[in-house]
Amino acid sequence: GPGSQQQGSGNAGVTLFRPDGNLRALDEIEADVIRLAIGHYRGRMTEVARRLGIGRSTLYRKLGELGIDQSAA
C-alpha cells in the first residue's frame, strides 16, 4: 500500500521482465541497478561500489561496458 516504497527514491525498482513476459538480459538489469544506485547515493561512486559489493575500478569498467554516463544517471 502507500508508504511501502523506500523513502528517498522515487520509482525505486528494476524491471526484471520484458513486456512479453520473458526475462531481460542480465547486462540490461545490471545497468538499471547501477543507474539506480548512482541516483540513490547521489553519484558517490565509492559508496555505490561498496554497496554493490564491487571495487571502484570494476564499477567504472562496468559503466564503460554498459554505456552508462555517470553524470546523467
Distance in angstroms (rounded) separating the CA atoms of residues 27 and 40: 20
How far is 32 from 63, CA to CA, in rounded Å? 11
Kindly report whether the global pTM for this prediction surpasses the value 0.75: yes
Confidence band for 70, pLDDT divided at 50, 70 and 90: confident
Domain ranges of the chain: 26-66
User: Do 39 and 12 form a contact (C-beta atoms < 8 A)?
Assistant: no
Q: Give the per-residue pLDDT at 10.
A: 56
DSSP 22: P
Q: For residue 24, what pLDDT is reported? A: 98
* 32-35 CB contacts, 8 Å cutoff, 24+ apart: 34/59, 34/62, 34/63, 34/66, 34/68, 34/73, 35/68, 35/73
Q: Tell the CATH topology of 26-66.
A: Arc Repressor Mutant, subunit A (1.10.10)
pLDDT 10s digits, 3-61: 444 445 456 789 999 999 999 999 999 999 999 999 999 999 999 999 999 999 999 99
